[in-house]
Chain A
Amino acid sequence: MNFLGTVRAKNKNNKNILSMTIEHYPVMTENEILKIAEKALKKWDINYISIIHRIGKLFPKDKIVYVGVSSKHRQNAFNACNFIMDYLKSNATFWKLEEFENKNKWVIQDKKEIEALEKWS
């Protein structure tokens, strides 16, 4: 199971994005991603997990995040991939700065990202 997230040309308010810069907290970010993977491995019978998340300046259609999960039974891979994405969005220390024609704006965390975690508890 593979998931590949890309930079959308329009943001949540339907405004055109020129570029996006992703900031992160070195070492804490890697630790949080590792914790997410370890949780998924404990929760499902899966073989391998691969997580890639880019940082720095990106442009519309650029790839941001990749999650790959392999397992004997496909449902485990689907669930684990979904779980990992939910936790990446709510725990891994990344912040997105949207860059427009004449200003920049930090993306604010959507409450839905936190509510999405409830289905896993």
Chain B
Amino acid sequence: MIIKYFSWVKDIVGKSEEKILISPDIDTPEKLIDFLITKNEQYKKAFSKRATIKVAQNKIYISKTTKIKNDDEIAFFPPVTGG
């Protein structure tokens, strides 16, 4: 799985992208976040306001309960501020 981070989520996590292998039981963004925050303090801090963080699966907005799988590209980012 490729995970991409943007904006202040990227700054706190400390990287814009990573590639990881997830176990089959991590099958939603919610569970993926639960897994990531066990890795280190940066992830914990980045996702401390997880309710505000948006998710995309293969470049399409999804909810945190949508099914995801290992060959997806998942992105985490704050609400957008374009225009």
Given contacts A25-B56, A31-B60, contact A109 B78 (CB under 8 A): yes
Question: Residues of B contacting A24 with CB < 8 Å?
Answer: 82
Checking B8, B56, B75, B81 against A94 with a beta-carbon cut-off of 8 angstroms, the contacting residue is B81
Known: A23-B7, A25-B75. A108 touches B81 (CB 8 A): yes
Interface residues of B in 1-28 (CB under 8 A from A): 4, 6-8, 11
Taking CB atoms and an 8 Å cut-off, the chain A residues in 99-117 that contact chain B are 106-109, 113-114
| Total chain A interface residues with beta-carbon distance under 8 A | 28
The answer to whether B60 touches A94 (Cβ under 8 A) is no
Chain A binding surface SS class: mixed
Cα A64 to Cα B83 in complex, Å, equals 7
Interface residues on chain B, number (Cβ under 8 Å): 17
Q: How many residue pairs between the two chains, A and B, have CB atoms under 8 Å in the bound complex?
A: 71
B contact residues around A18 at 8 Å (CB):
none
Partner of A89 from the list B11, B60, B75, B83 (CB cut-off 8 Å) is B83
Q: Which B residues between 22 and 62 are near A, CB-CB below 8 angstroms?
A: 56, 59-61
Encoded as 1 (CB less than 8 Å from any B CB) or 0, chain A from 73 to 101 comes to 00000000000010011111111110000
- Name the 9 nearest CB pairs between A and B, nearest first: A94-B82, A109-B79, A89-B83, A28-B59, A95-B7, A88-B83, A107-B81, A106-B8, A96-B81
Residues of A within 8 A of B (CB): 5, 22-25, 27-28, 31, 53, 64-65, 85, 88-97, 106-109, 113-114
Residues of B in contact with A (beta carbons under 8 Å apart):
4, 6-8, 11, 56, 59-61, 75, 77-83
